[in-house]
Amino acid sequence: MDVNLENKIAVVTGGTRGIGLACAEQLAASGATVAVVGSRSETVEKGTEMVEKKGKAHGYQLDVTDVPAIAPTIEKIRKDLGEIDILVCSAGIDIGKPTLAVDVTEKQWDDLHRVNAKGLFFTNQAVAIQSMIPRKNGSIINIGSTVGLVGAPNCMPYNTSKAVVSQLTRSEAVEWGPHNVRVNCVAPTWVETDLSKPLLNLPGFIEHELGKIPINRIARLDEVGAAVCFLASDLATMVTGIQFPVDGGWTCQ
């Protein structure tokens, strides 16, 4: 059964690289018109060009930590492309190295939560207020993480920011369900991206992490994108509030 997103408008934050870019490409390939959102103009241009090879795409610059800029950017996308059917929130950062909880600084904590949790929530809110709740239709997919669902050492700010994503997804699903707005979270295991490479390249790191994954490999970008496209589509109209692990069995243990 093919995912058909023809005539759908999708917005992807963090859409210029990694998981966000893969999601934007697969949404476009499935027929959606995609607003590729990124924090820097040069990466937005490059990312949009890549997505355009798969389908229809337009680029927009937005730093999700600039909360007052979120609503105007969403309004511009709506004016340019039409009402928003799909929102994928993939903008995110990490410290980039294993860090013990006792060594975490206030700045590291605030930086990660400002992007991964706060920026994500207010993007969800802006799209829901402007486009989805008034039309009583929409699908929001937040990119979480396996480590937002289980305990894991040496990445406290990241873990907790992704746990926030999981909980706000559940709460939004309950609150916005009566408006026919579905909210789900895709929670991948390790995927090779520019964000994860510094960790995956540490001696012995990936071998250690594979011990937690019964399938014994990290995920592919297209596997995460496939989960997102399914949840965005009309095949999943009764699915909301879930945490969808793309984790090779990590969380079933």
Residue pLDDT, tens place only, 131-151: 999 999 999 999 999 989 998
pLDDT at 197 over 80: no
The mean per-residue pLDDT over the stretch 17-29 comes to: 97
Whole-model pTM: value is 0.95
pLDDT of residue 201: 77
Check: CB of residue 187 under 8 Å from CB of residue 247: yes
Is 158 noted as a catalytic residue in this protein? yes
Check: CB of residue 47 under 8 Å from CB of residue 38: yes
Check: CB of residue 221 under 8 Å from CB of residue 18: yes
Q: Give the confidence band of 1 by pLDDT, cuts at 50, 70, 90.
A: low
Q: Residue 201, exposed/middle/buried by CB under 10 A (0-12, 13-18, 19+)? A: exposed
The mean per-residue pLDDT over the stretch 194-212 comes to: 80
**Largest distance between two CA atoms of the chain:** 51
Summarised one tens digit per residue, pLDDT across range 94-128 is 888 889 999 999 999 999 999 999 999 999 999 99
pLDDT of residue 98: 85
Matching residue, tokens 């389908």: 55
The CATH architecture to which 9-245 belongs is 3-Layer(aba) Sandwich (3.40)
Q: Is the dihedral of CA 172, 178, 180, 184 positive or negative?
A: positive
- Beta strand residue intervals within the chain, DSSP E: 9-13, 33-38, 56-61, 86-89, 138-143, 181-188, 243-246
Among residues 64, 84, 123, 158, the one annotated as catalytic is: 158
Q: Give the confidence band of 240 by pLDDT, cuts at 50, 70, 90.
A: very high
Q: Compute how many other C-beta atoms are within 10 angstroms of the C-beta atom of residue 219.
A: 21
Q: How far apart are CA 11 and CA 210, in angstroms?
A: 33
